């Protein structure tokens, strides 16, 4: 059979990796797909990049719409990022009857419902394995490998930058700002690291995983996101003393009240496998009712790991080019007409345990005031650390682990504690998950 002709939008890190791996493993990929897959047309603002990648036989343009509108192109691979021009390009490709492969998590999280509806109407596929956790095939695992299961919950380290920062803070006792600067120098973090350190990038990915796990529409704006910028070296040390490690987790959980969908720093018992995922690596833990917990671990970013997922999607689309559209794997695992309208819970209704750290004046009755406030809101203390003040200092750190409590109750308690004249700073709180 004639090779499938691919139009590649973007020759940056992932685009370059995709071109390299497609060329290097062309024979193996063709054996798996049943026919060859070739880049026929590519778009990039810097056309000299094509020569660096050995794409001398590929048609080139600076206008991505030239590729999308070309009648010879069967699959469009969108790797330019963002969610404005990328949305227009993907929708135009679908209108032109072309299949789409993308690594763009923001695009899918924000506009996926619209894109999938357009693809369903046109009878084309949109594949996005590379949008979550880089080279880890977690979307395929949840959507297809765990299709027999009712997914109970999932939790993932799905941003390598945040994981690198927290690992360095734990292993070397370094401050957040110091490690962030190194992450930027190493290329792990952007010049503006907001998406990584404030949980937005992880929120995009969690939105996608949650929709696939629970059969609900994509709802990024209902995803609670909290970053790691307020985590201190002291918090990391105290967590270790209590037998925990701090990880920046995306968590989605099915409850009787609705779906929890949240990204935030989390204390995890140090013996859990996911607590030992360090550096820039990613991992996703998924609990199914039949299979139990399963862990997916690997490189969450990088040229060739992400290209691995992009090309896997290309192989899937190539295999399905002649398949009846009604018999293809649904974009969000469940048939489009069968998506549930289950509510996403506001963070105030979520129940977790909490780590609390507060600075208090070293005088009698302070601890009694704090415990009274917690007790009035049915918040029980699981563990407690009070450090001795250093010489000449009349302030001391108080650290507590609570049992599970509704977040709204904890918000009220923290507000009351911070109103005490013996508390000398805002209360630091980090949620705690056993993940068992």
Three-state secondary-structure class, residue 6: strand
Closest CA to 297 of 160, 198, 171: 160
| 110: DSSP letter | H
Three-state secondary-structure class, residue 50: helix
Three-state secondary-structure class, residue 376: helix
The torsion angles phi and psi of 267, rounded to 5 degrees, stand at -85, 130
Q: E strands within 16-150?
A: 37-43, 59-61, 75-78, 99-102, 126-127
Contact 119, 196 (CB under 8 A): no
Beta partners for residue 41, in sequence order: 7, 59
Question: How crowded is the C-beta side of 206, counted as CA atoms within 13 Å?
Answer: 33
Active site residue 387: no
Catalytic site residue from 105, 140, 205, 287: 205
Tokens at residue 432, please? 């705690």
Contact 129, 312 (CB under 8 A): yes
Closest CA to 251 of 285, 227, 294: 285
Contact 95, 313 (CB under 8 A): no
Beta partners for residue 157, in sequence order: 283
Closest CA to 154 of 255, 229, 252: 252
Round to whole Å and give the CA distance between 76 and 128.
12
The torsion angles phi and psi of 198, rounded to 5 degrees, stand at -100, 5
Residue by residue, DSSP assigns 146-210 as TTTS-EEEEEEE--HHHHHHHHHHHHH---HHHHHHHHHHTTSS-SS-HHHHTSHHHHHHHHHHH
Catalytic residue numbers? Answer: 205
């Amino acid at each position: 059979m004639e090779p499938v002709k691919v139009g590649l939008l973007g020759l940056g890190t992932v685009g370059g990796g995709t071109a390299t791996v497609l060329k290097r493993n062309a024979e193996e990929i063709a054996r798996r797909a049943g026919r060859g897959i070739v880049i026929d047309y590519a778009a990039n603002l810097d056309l000299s990049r094509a020569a660096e990648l050995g794409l001398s036989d590929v048609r080139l343009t600076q206008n991505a719409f030239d590729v999308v509108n070309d009648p010879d192109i069967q699959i469009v691979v969108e790797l330019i990022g963002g969610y404005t021009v990328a949305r227009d390009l993907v929708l135009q490709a679908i209108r032109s009857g072309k299949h789409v492969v993308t690594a763009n998590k923001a695009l899918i999280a924000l506009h996926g419902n619209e894109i999938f509806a357009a693809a369903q109407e046109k009878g084309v596929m949109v594949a996005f394995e590379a949008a979550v956790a880089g080279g880890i095939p977690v979307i395929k695992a949840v959507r297809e490998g765990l299709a027999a299961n009712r997914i109970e919950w999932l939790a993932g380290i799905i941003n390598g930058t945040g994981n690198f920062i927290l690992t360095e803070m734990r292993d070397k006792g370094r401050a957040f700002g110091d490690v962030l600067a190194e992450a930027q120098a190493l290329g792990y973090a952007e010049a503006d690291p907001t998406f990584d350190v404030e949980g937005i990038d992880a929120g995009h990915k969690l939105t996608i995983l949650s929709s696939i796990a629970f059969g609900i529409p994509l709802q990024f704006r209902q995803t609670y996101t909290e970053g790691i910028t307020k985590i201190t070296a002291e918090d990391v040390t105290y967590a270790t003393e209590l037998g925990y490690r701090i990880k920046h987790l995306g968590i989605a959980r099915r409850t009787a009240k609705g779906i929890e969908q949240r990204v935030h720093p989390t204390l995890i018992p140090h013996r859990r496998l996911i607590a030992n995922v360090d550096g820039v690596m990613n991992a996703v833990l998924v609990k199914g009712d039949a299979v139990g917990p399963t862990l997916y671990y690997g490189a969450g970013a990088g040229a060739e790991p992400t290209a691995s997922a992009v090309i896997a999607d290309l192989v899937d689309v190539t295999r399905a080019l002649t398949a009846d559209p009604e018999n293809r794997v649904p974009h969000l695992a469940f048939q489009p007409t069968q998506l549930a309208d289950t509510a996403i819970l506001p963070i105030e209704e979520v129940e977790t345990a909490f780590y609390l750290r507060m600075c208090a004046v070293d005088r009698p009755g302070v601890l009694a005031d704090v415990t009274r406030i917690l007790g009035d809101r049915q918040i029980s203390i699981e563990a407690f650390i009070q450090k001795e003040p250093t010489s000449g200092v009349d302030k001391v750190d108080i650290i507590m682990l609570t049992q599970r409590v509704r977040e709204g109750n904890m918000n009220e308690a923290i507000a009351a504690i911070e109103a005490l004249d013996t508390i000398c700073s805002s209360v630091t709180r980090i949620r705690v998950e056993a993940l068992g």
